[in-house]
Amino acid sequence: MPGKFTVVPVKDGRRRTGKAGSEDEDVDHNNVLREEDEDAPGDGNPKESSPFINNTDNDKGNNYDGKNMALFEEEMDSNPMVSSLLNKLANYTNLTQGAQEHEEADDDEGPKKKAVKSPQMGTFMGVYLPCLQNILGVILFLRLTWIVGTAGIMESLAIVGMCCSCTMLTAISMSAIATNGVVPAGGSYYMISRSLGPEFGGAVGLCFYLGTTFAGSMYILGTIEILLTYIVPKAAIFVAVEKEDEADALLNNMRVYGTCCLVLMSLVVFVGVKYVNKLALVFLACVILSILAIYAGVIKTAFEPPDFPVCLLGNRTLQNHDFDKCLKTEEVDNVTVTTKLWMLFCKGPELNASCNEYFVRNNVTEVQGIPGLTSGVISDNMWSDYGPLGMLVENKRQPSVPAEDTSRDIYMPYVFNDIATFFTLLVGIYFPSVTGIMAGSNRSGDLRDAQRSIPIGTILAIATTSFIYVTCVVLFGACIEGVVLRDKFGDSVKGNLVIGTLSWPSPWVIVIGSFFSCCGAGLQSLTGAPRLLQAIARDGIVPFLQVFGHGKANGEPTWALLLTGGICEIGILIASLDAVAPILSMFFLMCYLFVNLACAVQTLLRTPNWRPRFKYYHWSLSFLGMSLCLSLMFISSWYYAIVAMVIAGCIYKYIEYRGAEKEWGDGIRGLSLNAARYALIRLEEAPPHTKNWRPQLLVLLNLDSDLGIKHARLLSLTTQLKAGKGLTIVGNVLEGTYLTKEAEAKKAEQNIKASMSAERTKGFCHVVVSSNLRDGFSHLIQSAGLGGMKHNSVLMAWPGTWKQSNDPQSWKNFIETVRETTAAHQALLVAKNIDSFPTNQDRLGEGTIDVWWVVHDGGLLMLLPFLLRQHKVWRKCKMRIFTVAQMDDNSIQMKKDLQMFLYHLRLNAEVEVVEMHDSDISAFTYEKTLVMEQRSQLLKQMQLSRTEREREAQLIHDRNTASHAALNDKADTGPDRVHMTWTKEKLFSERNRNREANANVAVRDLFNMKPEWESLNQSNVRRMHTAVKLNEVVVNKSQGAHLVLLNMPGPPRNRGGDENYMEFLEVLLEGLNRVLLVRGGGREVITIYS
């Protein structure tokens, strides 16, 4: 199917077809890939439209009738045949994102769109000439002679060499990026954003936009300077009355005429952008003719120098606007009369009139402004001649007698420096003359073979312009007198453009040529900048720029043009070409810096997709180019460089926090992956030192039946504990198989991520589907994290409803999780009453965080309050540490030792030692233990047969209905009435069902409880005693605390006592609101050493 259809990607993500062949042409109906089906909608991917991205919907209409590929027929919907893919690639083309499509829209009157023509421009017309036109411009004609005169030939060559090397290295990097796949129109912005990501792309794209906009200002100022200085000086609106006001008058004229010119150019761009593009060749012809006129003039000076006399008074250069003869007096009919020059320095025409002291002491001499190529003036122009503002332009070779009074010099017709000059300033002013290297890549959509044309055309254009600049520097220095070179506005050669005095056949060739060149360049800037802004706005990465993505019906960026005009006006109000040039130098250098960075990053990462056709690049060249760009930024103007970086940085952070998320397969993401891999490998080498230990949390969440999060405050606590530092993995387990629960797992992950975002918890989400919850939590504890970035602590909520649950698996899973964290040497944090914990928006007032340090298991108890108090929620809370003293402990010494220990730990906390004396086990403890064991026996009946379970359920029902209240009452009043809960018959029946064939156990009198207590497991009694006594002490001391941290006892080794373990913990925590049970991981986490 070659050549019949052109598949064109358009902005809404759909593909349209235009038939280039005849309607009546035969179609092979047996072909399984129908051409009629190719205008199916695209995949809606917000990334760039490209045939390289599989379009899953595109081939769904295809009927597969063949038998050869029957093995793959079920995959045809998602994976097209290779022949179909190749057909799309062969017919793929780019729409030009420039004036061409708008011209077509303007010309297309009928309802049917014209067929899109394939681009036909070659290297010469499509890349070389546009680059040449953009690079050569206003600085060459208006400032290069002045730069050569001021800096000297040697330093001027250094400036030209640095700037041209910078652009050449950037062009090499740009060529590599531009030939790495299809580059749609969009130029440098597209290349950088797709190589370095949306943040860098947006920041550099806007910098490039600002640079292009200020370039428009510079070209307009150049146009007005040529107009008012060299073409029609009398058109000036503001005329200086005093000599010292001339500079301000010139600037005001520039502002008025520049604003009018900007409005006029904007209207031209708004109304008829097609004419701007059609006149581009005319403007380019003006540039080339002007340069040829310069070379012709240089050749002519070798044998016939032009006559441009320069008048010197002593060694000072004079402005010769107001006199025609370089004489103080002259003989007219044998009578000595004064000249017009005399009148400028004396108070009258008389020979005895009072004159300026310097005028009296020195003679006037006349030298040729253009001595010619063979004059040897090159030796005088070899070195620099910098000076401050107001410095006189002098010829050091001429004799001069200084005057004592120089106060009136400013009012004399001397040629002065209008600005202070130094090397770095000249670098900033010159650099805009080498910009414009992106012109070829900006037209990539118009090129027949962009991957071949862009490198060749751009590098040839830079080589050509570099040759022109270097030869011009040498030839200007070899042909023109130094004082004329340093005369910026040509005042010493009757107001002629200095470069014009060298040209042949007439100075007007350069004047008119440079005027139209600046006009054309200004129009091109005002055409290109709004389109660049529109492209950035349409990418959607900078939300506040969305409005600038809209335009006229034909796509003209109207709003973007208005903004461009407004920014351009700022440059015009600055009014000085020398002040605007360094500004746009900064923005262009910033752009070039990131082009080099993009190439270097892609080369070093060696991403599989990095396969440029242009092979003559290397990462070291890119880094050299990047370093040169950075150096030139600070050489030109360090404060402008900082401002440009701050602007780019602000845009970067704005896009990072507020911009739309884009995935463009950029190099920064690859760089992050490489850095992460390297860091993980380094972390794997050794466990972290105690000084570096911080809780890396695995948060175990529970979801409800709708996959909503049950305890969102766990995430709040995580945020308060972590403050954005370290690793956080939020895990959840769904029961089932992954094949059936895949959709639910994804939904659960989305819900968890939404909650993490709402609670500002920075971390990762991990949802596991397992056949049962027990195994799922075990898998998470074992395998969550990667390499050295694994969790060392587990945070979970206390199962508050474990008593009410009919399913014992809930608390069994909890206990098994405790055991697994202990086996894995991980710390465990269990939050009781988690829903009463503060949110991130709460601010707790004065209060305490109480730490009950019963056993030492690594010091995590002391570290957690310190971490919590770093967060705003807990900042006002004070830390109190309680420790328990036994009978044989010296509590006073313990307190001193603990205070010293905390001092060495650099922790501020109140210390209190609580004495727990050995006491008899109370009746209340016995009764609590009895109730616990009775409940344990009842729960064991749940494991019997169905019939027995039904009877057991009846027993539980009887107990709950008839005797539950009595049991609770007796538990509060003492053990002497607990026996009322059970009858003799029920006790016998229960023991028979338990099948406990213990012949030694006799039937005891239920009205006497002492024998019943003796039958209790004494280990359970002791543990219950500890829980009751410790609970009494903790409630007494810490009931009003904002948070209580307490050592968590370990579960029993014998799994038969698991339900008793839950009862012990319940008793231990009774009467406390917010509790965090802490179980250490078996290693020290806090140290006194630095």
pLDDT in tens, 885-895: 776 777 788 88
Distance CA 473, CA 476 (A): 5
- Looking at residue 705, what DSSP letter applies? T
Query: 557 burial class (0-12, 13-18, 19+ CB within 10 angstroms)?
Result: buried
Q: Which of 15-24, 300-309, 578-587 has the lowest mean pLDDT?
A: 15-24
pLDDT at 147 exceeding the cut of 70: yes
The whole-number pLDDT of residue 426 equals: 93
The whole-number pLDDT of residue 41 equals: 39
User: Shortest CA distance to 672 belongs to which of 599, 607, 766?
Assistant: 607
The whole-number pLDDT of residue 938 equals: 57
pLDDT band at 157 (very low <50, low <70, confident <90, very high): very high
Task: Show the tokens assigned to 689.
Answer: 């030192």
pLDDT at 160 exceeding the cut of 90: yes
> Mind giving me the DSSP string for 1059-1073?
HHHHHHHHHHHTT-S
Phi, psi of 768 (to 5 degrees): -115, 135
pLDDT band at 107 (very low <50, low <70, confident <90, very high): very low
pTM (predicted TM-score): 0.69
The whole-number pLDDT of residue 950 equals: 53
The whole-number pLDDT of residue 666 equals: 60
User: Shortest CA distance to 773 belongs to which of 801, 808, 805, 728?
Assistant: 808
pLDDT at 217 exceeding the cut of 90: yes
The whole-number pLDDT of residue 624 equals: 96
Q: Is the separation of the CB atoms in 1016 and 933 below 8 Å?
A: yes
pLDDT at 45 exceeding the cut of 50: no
The whole-number pLDDT of residue 333 equals: 81
The whole-number pLDDT of residue 35 equals: 37
In the sheet that holds 877-885, the strands lie side by side as: 764-770, 728-735, 697-700, 793-797, 827-832, 1075-1079, 1043-1047, 847-853, 877-885, 910-915
pLDDT in tens, 935-972: 565 555 555 544 455 555 555 555 554 444 443 443 34
The whole-number pLDDT of residue 375 equals: 86
**Residue 640 CB partners (closer than 8 Å, separation 6+):** 428, 582, 583, 585, 586, 633
Distance CA 589, CA 138 (A): 18
The whole-number pLDDT of residue 942 equals: 53
Query: 594 burial class (0-12, 13-18, 19+ CB within 10 angstroms)?
Result: buried
- The residue that leads in pLDDT, 349 or 995, is 349
How far is residue 193 from each of residues 212, 557, 595, 656, measured CA to CA in Å? 17, 21, 10, 13
- The residue that leads in pLDDT, 530 or 169, is 169
Q: Which of 172-181, 401-410, 412-421 has the lowest mean pLDDT?
A: 401-410
Chain centroid offset of residue 482 CA:
49
Average pLDDT of the residues in 124-152: 89
pLDDT band at 608 (very low <50, low <70, confident <90, very high): confident
pLDDT band at 1018 (very low <50, low <70, confident <90, very high): low
| Percentage of the chain modeled with pLDDT above 90 | 22
Q: How many CA atoms lie within 13 A of 532 on its CB side?
A: 32
The whole-number pLDDT of residue 809 equals: 76
pLDDT band at 922 (very low <50, low <70, confident <90, very high): low
pLDDT at 64 exceeding the cut of 80: no
- The count of other CB atoms within 10 Å of the CB of residue 271 is 10
The mean of the pLDDT values for the chain is 78
pLDDT at 106 exceeding the cut of 60: no
pLDDT in tens, 466-508: 999 999 999 999 999 999 999 988 888 888 899 989 888 888 8
pLDDT at 976 exceeding the cut of 80: no
Q: Is the separation of the CB atoms in 910 and 849 below 8 Å?
A: no
Distance CA 827, CA 27 (A): 72
pLDDT in tens, 856-911: 776 788 888 888 888 888 988 999 988 887 767 777 888 888 888 888 888 888 88
pLDDT at 17 exceeding the cut of 90: no
- The count of other CB atoms within 10 Å of the CB of residue 481 is 25
| Percentage of the chain modeled with pLDDT above 70 | 75
pLDDT in tens, 661-690: 666 666 667 677 777 777 778 777 666 666
The whole-number pLDDT of residue 111 equals: 42
Amino acid symbol at 639: Y
Average pLDDT of the residues in 174-198: 75
pLDDT at 984 exceeding the cut of 80: no
pLDDT band at 980 (very low <50, low <70, confident <90, very high): very low
